[in-house]
């Protein structure tokens, strides 16, 4: 049975008792706010029993233990007198230490991550809808698309369309909340952006008989159906206006004046200034991202697949979520997540390759679940717990394979019907077309096999191999007489 008190003592010894400011934990990781990260020896942390990996991000030194273990180590550290705080409190402490660009990335993450369940539900719903209403499947039941009962089609439409119809309200609410405003005012402002009082943006764009409302015959007012960037900025601005009004309006009048003034001022600015300008920017970004998959010979896919996981390491990948949501809302398709899928498969296969080549039970125990987790759509355990843990070579080799996989995805013209999940769960996003479905599954499998072999051949760090007792013994037996122990063999036995 593991000695959790001993593990806690070893952590304290390596990190430094005076270097620990506060501790918290999530489902799998111990989160530690430290005064000086440079005082910590990562290798010594990795050598501690039950540690599956470690990394430093967002101002926190995070040690991966796994579910059911991390809370026991946390309890031991708390019993030893270290300041125990909630994960949210530690997160806020870490945010205050981050530079401005990191805080900006954090804002994007905090806005869009809470929206992912709704967006994922819509995408999975679209996949199931594609299966249920597939003419071939309906024919097996003696039905045609026209004969599907209306209650069923109405139900499926509600499940698959609502999130994107009210997307501006969701984004505005989340941005308002993260910026410290009243969430109810955020969702109210978001609903105002798509109010039927204003001409529908889709109808203005597609129907010549529908015109925007003109202010002073110069500024066009219309709804912002399907918008993301305008809703994000409007939510942020609305929260700041509300907080500013709370400071200048007398307390006795705040409940009456602040809500109406904040939403009215924000809505006017949104319709007159921010909305039109940001909509142009949004359309330009959508054009660039869509064009990435259209660059000849799949070059755009190669570039994206090559660098995506490096972006994940920096934590800037959350901003990509906003662009993906924007693409799905505007076009109904998301080629970006398809270009990135091979890079995820490659990192997962790399972690499994490291575990396969290892003779170290601890490394194998960490590598197999880390690699398997990638196929559920989460790459961080594989990247930080394995592929960067023993040097950069496994990560680089996997990234190169992921680049070629991204090129193949571009050439195959893969595109999902949603975003938020990838790998095996994400296969539902491609059920709308058999070519897409088969190509996605085949590309995931082929990329995984190629990355596994490539990492085994070229991605295993020499230093890592030298730490394997079996490999060292084989080298020693070739270079030294069998009747006399070599220095290397003695060191192995001592270790």
Strands of 53-57's sheet, edge to edge? 20-25, 29-34, 60-64, 53-57
Question: Alpha-carbon distance 39 to 19, whole Å?
Answer: 8
Spatial contact of 322 and 228, defined as CB atoms under 8 Å apart: yes
Which tokens go with 228? Answer: 């993301």
Spatial contact of 323 and 289, defined as CB atoms under 8 Å apart: yes
Spatial contact of 25 and 71, defined as CB atoms under 8 Å apart: yes
Cα-trace Rg, the chain: 27
Which tokens go with 467? Answer: 């730490």
Nearest to 340 by CA among 348, 330, 332: 348
State how far the alpha carbon of 13 is from the alpha carbons of 8, 18, 48, 92, 491, in Å. Answer: 9, 10, 11, 26, 25
Which tokens go with 276? Answer: 């039109």
Catalytic residue IDs: 26
**Residues written for the chain:** 495
For residue 76, the 8-state DSSP code is H
Spatial contact of 419 and 324, defined as CB atoms under 8 Å apart: yes
């Amino acid at each position: 049975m593991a000695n959790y008190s001993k593990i806690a003592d070893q952590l304290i010894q390596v990190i430094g008792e005076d270097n620990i400011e506060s501790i918290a934990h999530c489902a799998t990781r111990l989160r530690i706010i430290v005064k000086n990260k440079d005082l910590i020896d990562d290798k010594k942390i990795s050598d501690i029993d039950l540690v599956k990996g470690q990394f430093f991000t967002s101002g926190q030194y995070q040690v991966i233990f796994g579910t059911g273990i991390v809370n026991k180590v946390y309890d031991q550290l708390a019993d030893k007198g270290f300041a125990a705080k909630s994960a949210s409190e530690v997160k806020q402490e870490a945010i205050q230490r981050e530079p401005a660009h990191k805080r900006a990335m954090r804002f994007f993450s905090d806005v869009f991550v809470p929206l992912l369940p709704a967006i994922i539900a819509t995408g999975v719903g679209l996949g199931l809808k594609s299966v249920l209403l597939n003419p071939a499947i309906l024919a097996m039941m003696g039905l045609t698309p026209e004969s599907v009962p209306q209650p069923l089609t109405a139900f499926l439409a509600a499940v698959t369309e609502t999130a994107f119809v009210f997307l501006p309200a969701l984004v505005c609410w989340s941005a308002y909340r993260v910026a410290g405003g009243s969430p109810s005012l955020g969702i109210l402002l978001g609903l105002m952006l798509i109010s039927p009082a204003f001409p529908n943006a889709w109808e203005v764009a597609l129907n010549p008989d529908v015109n925007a409302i003109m202010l002073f015959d110069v500024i066009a007012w219309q709804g912002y159906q399907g918008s993301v960037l305008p809703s994000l900025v409007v939510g942020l601005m609305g929260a700041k206006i509300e907080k500013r009004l709370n400071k200048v309006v007398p307390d006795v009048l705040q409940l009456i004046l602040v809500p109406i003034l904040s939403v009215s001022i924000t809505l006017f600015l949104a319709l007159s200034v921010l909305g039109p300008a940001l909509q142009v920017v949004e359309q330009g970004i959508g054009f660039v991202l869509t064009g990435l998959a259209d660059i000849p010979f799949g070059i755009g896919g190669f570039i994206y697949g090559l660098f995506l996981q490096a972006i994940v390491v920096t934590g800037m990948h959350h901003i990509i979520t906003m662009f993906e949501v924007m693409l799905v809302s505007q076009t109904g398709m998301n080629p970006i997540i398809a270009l990135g899928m091979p890079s995820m498969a490659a990192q997962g296969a790399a972690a499994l390759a490291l575990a396969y080549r290892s003779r170290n039970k601890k490394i194998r125990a960490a590598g197999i679940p880390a690699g398997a987790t990638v196929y559920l759509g989460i790459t961080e355990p594989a990247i930080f717990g394995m592929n960067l843990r023993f040097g950069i070579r496994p990560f680089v080799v996997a990234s190169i394979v992921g680049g070629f996989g991204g090129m193949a995805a571009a050439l195959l013209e893969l595109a999902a019907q949603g975003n938020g999940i990838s790998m095996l769960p994400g296969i539902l996003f491609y059920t709308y077309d058999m070519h897409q479905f088969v190509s996605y599954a085949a590309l995931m499998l082929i990329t995984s096999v190629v990355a596994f072999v490539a990492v085994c051949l070229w991605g295993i760090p020499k230093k890592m191999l030298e730490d394997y007792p079996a490999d060292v013994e084989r080298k020693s037996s070739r270079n030294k007489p069998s009747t006399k122990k070599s220095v290397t063999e003695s060191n192995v036995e001592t270790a």
